[in-house]
Amino acid sequence: MGSQGDVTVLGTVVSPFALRVRMALYLKGVSYEYLEQNVFDKGELLLASNPVHKKVPVLIHGGKPVCESVAIVQYVDEFWSGAGFASILPADPYDRAVARFWAAYVDDKLVAAVLGILRAATEEERDEKVEAAHAVVAPMEEAFATCSKGKAFFSGGDSVGYLDLALGCHLFWLETLRSMFGVTIIDAGRTPQLAAWAERFLDTKAAKEVTPPTNSVEEYAGKLQAIWAAAASAK
């Protein structure tokens, strides 16, 4: 049974991992102090709270930091649990294992695929990277069918759960790739169920709560590209 001890989140409005944590807290109805970080000029609190990785997100609860979004989301689910709280992970151990498996897959493969598209130096390379991203997303169409059990979300119910958050938090970046390059990664032609899920997800209160400000992801993407270009020309 949880309590309302102080909760602080260190994040950025563009980090999918930070968005995931904020969505989890929203689902639990937990209020928290949000501190936007500048990852190009990291502050004391971030460095002190996550000395190992120096990354967002960090959840600080009663003064104790929790790092790594996968650990944070499960912490949030476990601490604020029981009567009156929505569940994030499913109840059944097998369903939990499947959700964790696909969430790990998303984090392992999708982020790299997105960055690959962003980093591509030529249109040809970009096309290759987009193909690679399609290949990453493809198995999730069947995963959706299995996990959703005919319902609206990966959770197997009418509201979002662990795997919805794990994949859903990346949708804002996929939208930005669409506006920057005209590419659609979760494509209704190739992965129709997933595309329909994505629309539903973005329409949820949890997603709307954390939708990054207009152009913020594109601006951040631009900064990354500038850093990569500078590093490349410095060689």
Partner 1 sequence: MAEKGVKVFGMWASPMVIRVEWALQLKGVTYEYIDEDLGNKSDALLRHNPLTKKVPVLLHDGKPIAESAIIVEYIDEVWKDGYPIMPADPYERAQARFWAKYADEKCNAAIYPVFTATGEAQSKVVHEAQQCLKTLEKALEGKKFFGGDAFGYLDVIVGWYAHWLPIIEEVSGASVVTEEELPLMKAWFDRILAVDVVKETLPPRDKLLALNKARREQLLSA
With CA atoms as reference, report the closest residue to 65 among 82, 50, 53, 54. 50
Stretch that binds partner 1, among 90-98, 117-125, 177-185, 227-235 (CB under 8 A): 90-98
Order of strands across the sheet that contains 64-67: 33-36, 7-11, 58-61, 64-67
Identify residues 124-143 at the interface with partner 1 (CB under 8 A): 139
DSSP symbol at 200? H
With CA atoms as reference, report the closest residue to 185 among 132, 139, 112. 132
**111 contacts partner 1 (rule: CB under 8 A):** no
CB of 119 to partner 1, least distance (A): 20
**105 contacts partner 1 (rule: CB under 8 A):** yes
**115 contacts partner 1 (rule: CB under 8 A):** no
What backbone torsions phi and psi does residue 66 show, to the nearest 5 degrees?
-125, 130
CB of 233 to partner 1, least distance (A): 27
**34 contacts partner 1 (rule: CB under 8 A):** no
**78 contacts partner 1 (rule: CB under 8 A):** yes
Number of residues that bind partner 1 (CB under 8 A): 23
Stretch that binds partner 1, among 33-41, 99-107, 145-153, 210-218 (CB under 8 A): 99-107
Spell out the residues 6+ positions from residue 224 whose beta carbon is closer than 8 angstroms to its own: 115, 118
The sign of the dihedral angle between the CA atoms of 120, 227, 167, 102 is positive
Which residues of this chain interact with partner 1, rule CB under 8 A? Answer: 52, 61, 64, 66-68, 70-72, 74-75, 78-79, 93-94, 96-98, 100-101, 104-105, 139
